[in-house]
Chains A and B, each alone.
Chain A
Amino acid sequence: MNDMLAIEALRITIAGRNVLRDVSLAVPQGHVHGLVGESGAGKTMVARAVLGILPAAARVISGHIAFDGAEITHMSERERRALLGRGIALIPQDPMTALNPAFRIEHQIVDVLRHHFGLGRTAARAQALELMHQVHIRAPERVLRQFPHELSGGMRQRVLIAIAFACRPKLIIADEPSTALDVTVQRQVLRLIKHLQARENTAVLFVTHNLGVVAKICDTMTVLHAGRVVEEGSVEACFERPAHAYTRALMAATPRYDQPAAALAPVPEALSRDLADEATAWDARHGAA
């Protein structure tokens, strides 16, 4: 099975501070890979490195990113842009800021289709309608004529999923795609991503801090802490036989409605300290940038 995305020992600094410390992970074709970890762990930084949209102050110090077998670590801006959309697409976290508030939904989808496939206006419009059907939007003609603020959060996220899948990408990066939604809508959106992903055999890198979501949608996963991989493996293995204390702590810190309140335990401070020490030790071994 070939890896659609392979990241090897990626090290990234921002203003001389290590934010990714030799991160390696692989997403095989047709698989959904979860990237989990607490806020600031570096999840979005991994996603941005793959998409080639790192913050200006960030530096790739070492390591490799390969997409569909080809190295893309140091692509030119033009090559990268050609890849985005056709090869790699993004489902962003915040559906409101990802859509342009000034344009109708139709305009935004038709734009993408014309840009990537060189479709004429009429063909693109027909295709847009078809996409709205695929993400199961009722009354698609009406939705196409609406502005982003006239849609609910769940509808906006469906539109963005449609846009992401529109160009039949081989890899989709989903950065917290359901975090802003309420639980019922979240479930529908996850279902939709899974459905389209399985049909198109798309590889998905699924970024989230919600272990419940990972358990339901991912095949494999990586746990990140302070820019270091602390655990990786199949979802079954990580959930049923977690090897690292931090993975176990994250699970114990996840509330569940089917267990008494007392079962919840925040990540122990001693563990957080140990992990911080390990990151400092890593920095000492590898030197600051």
Chain B
Amino acid sequence: MALLEVQGLKLALRGHSSGLRFGRARRIEILKGIDFTLDAGESLGIVGESGSGKTSLGRTIIRLHEPSAGSVRFADREITHLNASALRGLRKDMQMIFQDPMSSLNPRRRIGPILAQPLHAFDRRTKAETVQRVAQLLDLVALPRSFAARYPHELSGGQRQRVGIARALALEPKLVIADEIVSGLDVSTQAQILALLRSLKERLGLALIFISHDLSVVRVLCDRVLVLLAGEVVEQGPCEEVFRKPRHPYTRELLEAIPLPDVDPDWLDAVAVDP
């Protein structure tokens, strides 16, 4: 049974301020009718160029944006128009992790309290239980328990990203939406985070929506992939199939743009110098 069902999802937002000089701000259609489903424990990659609407789709699913049409069903429940208090309960089951962990971690709080915060927001625990859970979360993402006493700036980029993941897992969500969370990391750190996510997915039976513009990274982690272009799905299917035999020319273009680590002096010449 599908954990998440997205149907005809549309999102319209007001244009940016630079458009204002042409009169009243127009509403721009950013998502133009998205359909897909995600099973429990399944992982879906969302790919597409910058501005294609990947982040907007993630934010609309967890209702940080109000959709203008369509529906989102989660665990057999219509959540498209839930009010604020009903949404709060939902946040427990659906978590989003953002690209830049530094900006989403409060710089003045230590890692321990940062991880404990979602716990306090949802249920009453004794101090000892909270400390215990924070230790468990640090174990889960393979960070030393002593890191609970550190501040975000005392961690490397990869370590901060682990904290972001631990915080998202604090309430044992069923679905995690990860937005470009390995893009800024070097290859070795990226490989560690990917391996971590892969094992968490298996051990915890997590469903994962993994947003990235790098299809190689998606291949490592996802069962299926959805290709977004200008707010529309141009292709979706199992990674295995889509990557071996892309059907849409845009998917092919995305794949060909990835520099594989093989020496190939002609690769750059294959594109025009003009944009």
Interface residues on B, range: 35 or more
Q: Is the interface of A mostly helix, strand, loop or mixed?
A: helix
The interface size of chain A toward B, counting residues with CB under 8 Å, comes to 53
Given contacts A186-B257, A236-B263, contact A191 B273 (CB under 8 A): yes
Q: How far is the CB of B101 from chain A (nearest CB, A)?
A: 14
B90 at the interface (CB under 8 A from A): no
User: Which of chain B's residues have a CB closer than 8 A to the CB of A181?
Assistant: 50
Cross-chain pair count, CB within 8 angstroms: 140
Complex interface: stretch among A99-107, A109-117, A208-216: A208-216
Complex interface: stretch among A45-53, A121-129, A249-257, A278-286: A249-257
Q: Is the interface of B mostly helix, strand, loop or mixed?
A: helix
B259 at the interface (CB under 8 A from A): yes
Q: How far is the CB of A200 from chain B (nearest CB, A)?
A: 14
User: Which of chain A's residues have a CB closer than 8 A to the CB of B264?
Assistant: 215-216
Is A253 a contact of B188 with CB atoms below 8 Å? Answer: yes
Residue of A nearest to B242 (CB): A257
Is B255 a contact of A257 with CB atoms below 8 Å? Answer: yes
A-B contacts, 13 of them at CB < 8 A, read: A38-B188, A39-B186, A184-B49, A216-B267, A239-B263, A240-B263, A250-B187, A254-B261, A255-B194, A255-B219, A256-B216, A264-B194, A266-B194
Interface residues of B (CB under 8 A from A): 18, 49-50, 156-158, 184-192, 194-195, 198, 213-221, 240, 243, 253-255, 257-264, 267-269, 271-275
9 A-B pairs with the lowest CB-CB distances in the bound complex, closest first: A212-B259, A253-B191, A266-B191, A209-B186, A255-B216, A183-B257, A211-B261, A182-B213, A39-B186
A38-B188, A216-B268 known; 13 other A-B pairs, CB under 8 Å?
A38-B189, A136-B274, A138-B274, A183-B215, A184-B257, A210-B259, A253-B188, A255-B194, A257-B243, A261-B198, A266-B192, A266-B194, A266-B195
